[in-house]
Structure 1
Amino acid sequence: MKIGEIAEQTGLTAHTIRYYERIGLLPFAPRDSTGQRVYDASILTWIEFLGRLKTTGMSIQEMLRYAGLRAQGVATEEARCKLLTEHRDQVRLKVAELQACLLVLDNKIAGYAHTQRRTEKCKTRSNARRVRKAA
Structure 2
Amino acid sequence: MNSKEVSQLFDLPIDTIRYYERVGVIPPITRDKNGYRIFEKRDLNWIFLAKSLRKAGLSIESLIEFATLAQSKNDVRDAQKQILQDQLTEINAKLEETMRARDLLEYKIQTFDDHVAKINAGEMNDDDMDELWTMKHFKIKQ
Greater mean deviation of Cα atoms: 17-26 or 38-47:
38-47
- Cα displacement (A) at 1:112: 3.1
Could you say which residue in structure 1 is the equivalent of 2:27? 27
Could you say which residue in structure 2 is the equivalent of 1:127? none
**Overall identity of the aligned pairs, in %:** 27
In structure 2, distance between residues paired with 1:96 and 1:30? 41
Scaled by the length of structure 2, the TM-score of the pair is 0.74
In structure 2, distance between residues paired with 1:13 and 1:5? 11
Could you say which residue in structure 1 is the equivalent of 2:14? 14
AA partner of residue 104 (structure 1): L
- The alignment partner of 1:93 has SS state of helix
The within-5 A match list for 1:1-135 is 1-72=1-72, 75-114=75-114
Change in CA separation of 1:111 and 1:33 when aligned onto 2, cut-off 3 Å: same
Change in CA separation of 1:116 and 1:22 when aligned onto 2, cut-off 3 Å: same
Could you say which residue in structure 1 is the equivalent of 2:139? none
- The alignment partner of 1:4 has SS state of helix
Q: Write out per-residue CA displacement over residues 64-98 of structure 1, whole angstroms, 9 at most, x where no aligned residue.
A: 11111111157000111112112211111111111
In structure 1, distance between residues paired with 2:73 and 2:92? 28
- Cα displacement (A) at 1:3: 0.6
- The alignment partner of 1:61 has SS state of helix
Larger radius of gyration: 1
Scaled by the length of structure 1, the TM-score of the pair is 0.77
Structure 2, unaligned stretches of length 5 or more? Answer: 119-142
Could you say which residue in structure 2 is the equivalent of 1:131? none
Change in CA separation of 1:56 and 1:73 when aligned onto 2, cut-off 3 Å: farther
Matched positions, count: 118
In structure 2, distance between residues paired with 1:97 and 1:117? 30
Higher helix share: 1
- The alignment partner of 2:12 has SS state of coil
AA partner of residue 93 (structure 2): L
